[in-house]
Amino acid sequence: MEGKNYSQTDYLAEIGFQAQPGDIYYMNPPKELSSYPMYISNPTKQEKKPVGSFIAYTMQGTDISEKLLRRYSDFFALYEKLLQRWPGIYIPRVPPKKITGNLDPNMIKSRMRLLNRFCLNLSNIGYLYNAEETNIFRNNIPEVANAINKLPELSYAQILQNMKEAFPEYNQNYDIIVGKSKFDSFLGFLNTCVKKINEFKESVDAASSKREIDKKQYLEFVKNFADYESGNMRCYSDSNESALIFNNPSLKDLSEKMLKLKQEMINPFVAFRDWLEEEILDVEAMQIAIKKIFGLLETEDKLKAKSDGLNKDLEGGQVNFFKSIFKKKEELVGEMQREKEVTDQKILDVQEIIKIVGDNLENEIEKFKNDKTQNYYKYLKMFAIMQRESNRVVRELWTLVKNALNEINPKGEYNEYNQPEVQNEDIHLDNQQQGENEIKDEQPPQEGEQVDNPEE
């Protein structure tokens, strides 16, 4: 991507991105990310000659000596190569490919969040982060996706060597027959699980969209009070500003609250939707890892069948008729014996790989289940805090309005209608205080804000 065919054109903000409260993460990651080995920020639109355009991100981190440009295809190439060279190992998932909408601002910020999560998760898995594939990815290499794709396919002996270096203390007596039963059962659960998560996400998406519409309408509703005062109340009060509420210059607290209302009315469904997107990727990553182990078992069976066939031919003295025209029988027998030796060694290598990845994946599944449990509690609690916070800022606005009315006209006729509500609200606020004390020091996250992974 650093080659001559690319030129930077404009920033994301210049192609229609409208920053919203909480979107700072997508544009520039929070300061604490700067301590991570690698992360991405600053999405920019790039042109590729002769035609086409794409989004590139600036990658940097404590292990990266200079800022690098990386596009989605670079991440995807790394992910695919890790799957190929580390079969059966749990590989953090990158967001799926998109056929259309790759330049849509909302898609860009969602993709960037998930790619950043991939970077952080990968950096926490030492044997993957230090692997040859990742080293290429995080170094200044032209056309990095091509460089990764050109890496040769590893032999089973090479894969086994990498596995032994990554897991030197694996269980050499691991029983894959017992393990396969566990994997079958858990894969069945995951297949059902991902369907339910997608259904849940559809519901949250709908609720989030409705909340955004409601928020926009409510902000317009509040603004109409100020417009009404400017057009009507000024006339009714003979331009007496002290008779106004929303346009009263002496009511600074109310004016400030109105200005901040758009930012403070957070949408708790956004964070919940983000969590469900991450859950889907994690479940899919585990599904792929289990299926890769099943693929290794199928490979073992095929190699055994080939070995049995070669052995049968050797014992019966059978050789390929067409090959025997050009070679002596003794030569062909020697080739078959060497092929059988190679095949038998592959069987041993694959069997040892299965032991390593099976033992590792059983441990990963237990960790996975614990992480998912803790994530659920964390996001549910966060949703509760955000939901309550959103209600609080609206209540505070109308409490300020009520207090302003009491100051302007303490004996006004409206009091006879307002008094019961004031009493009930005071009781409600007293009860609310007890609940607020339970989460006294917690600050609600901003809309769209990234949260730490439990394993970090």
Give pLDDT tens digits along the chain (456 positions): 333 232 233 334 443 444 343 343 334 445 566 778 888 888 888 887 766 788 899 998 888 888 899 999 999 999 999 999 999 999 999 999 887 777 888 888 889 889 989 998 999 999 999 999 999 999 998 899 999 999 999 999 999 999 999 999 999 999 999 999 999 999 999 999 999 999 999 999 999 999 999 999 999 999 999 999 999 999 999 999 999 999 999 999 999 999 888 888 888 888 888 899 999 999 999 999 999 999 999 999 999 999 999 888 887 766 554 455 555 667 777 888 999 999 999 999 999 999 999 999 999 999 999 999 998 998 888 888 888 888 888 999 999 999 999 888 766 555 544 444 444 444 344 444 444 444 444 554 444 444 444 343
Q: Domain check: are 122 and 244 in the same one?
A: no
Torsion from C-alpha of 149, 140, 67, 10, nearest 10 degrees: -60
Residue 147 shares a structural domain with residue 204: no
Same domain assignment for residues 250 and 145: no
- pLDDT value of residue 281: 96
**Is residue 253 a part of any domain in this protein?**
yes
Distances (CA, A) of 13 to 6, 23, 72, 116, 146: 20, 12, 19, 19, 29
Residue 447 lies in a domain: no
**Alpha carbons 448 and 406: distance in angstroms, whole number:** 38
Domain span at residue 261 reads: 198-438
The answer to whether residues 40 and 112 belong to one domain is yes
Q: Where are the alpha helices (DSSP H) in 229-251?
A: 234-236
Same domain, yes or no: 125 and 203:
no
CB 112 within 8 A of CB 40: yes
Strand partners, 407: none
Same domain for 341 and 270: yes
From 100, 134, 153, give the residue that closes a domain.
Answer: 153
Residues 134 and 260 in one domain: no
Helix-helix angle 329-408:268-316, to 10 degrees? 170
Asked whether the CA dihedral 294, 300, 302, 304 is positive or negative, the reply is negative
Strand partners, 70: 57
- Residue that finishes a domain, picked among 117, 134, 153: 153
For residue 341, is it within any domain?
yes
- 263 plus 388 within the same structural domain: yes
Residue 78 pLDDT:
98
In a domain, 448, yes or no: no
Is 164 part of a structural domain of the chain?
A: no
Beta bridge pairs of residue 54: 46
Residue 7 is predicted with a pLDDT of 29
CATH number of domain containing 13: 3.30.1520.10
**Do residues 74 and 147 lie in contact, with contact meaning Cβ atoms separated by under 8 Å?**
no
Q: Are residues 18 and 109 in the same domain?
A: yes
Same domain, 239 and 373: yes
SS3 for 395? helix
Answer yes or no: do 134 and 241 share one domain. Answer: no
Overall number of domains in the chain: 2
Q: Measure Cα distances from 259 to 98, 211, 256, 268 in Å.
A: 38, 20, 5, 20
399 within some domain: yes
**In angstroms, what CA-CA distances link 103 with 16, 26, 153, 223, 405?**
10, 15, 33, 33, 49
pLDDT value for 31: 53
Sheet holding 39-48, edge to edge: 6-11, 39-48, 53-60, 68-71
Tell whether 361 is covered by a domain.
Answer: yes
Q: Which of 95, 122, 153 is the last residue of a domain?
A: 153
Q: State pTM to two decimals.
A: 0.80
Same-domain status, 115 and 237: no
Q: Give domain status of residue 30, yes or no.
A: yes
What is the predicted pLDDT for the residue at 454? 39
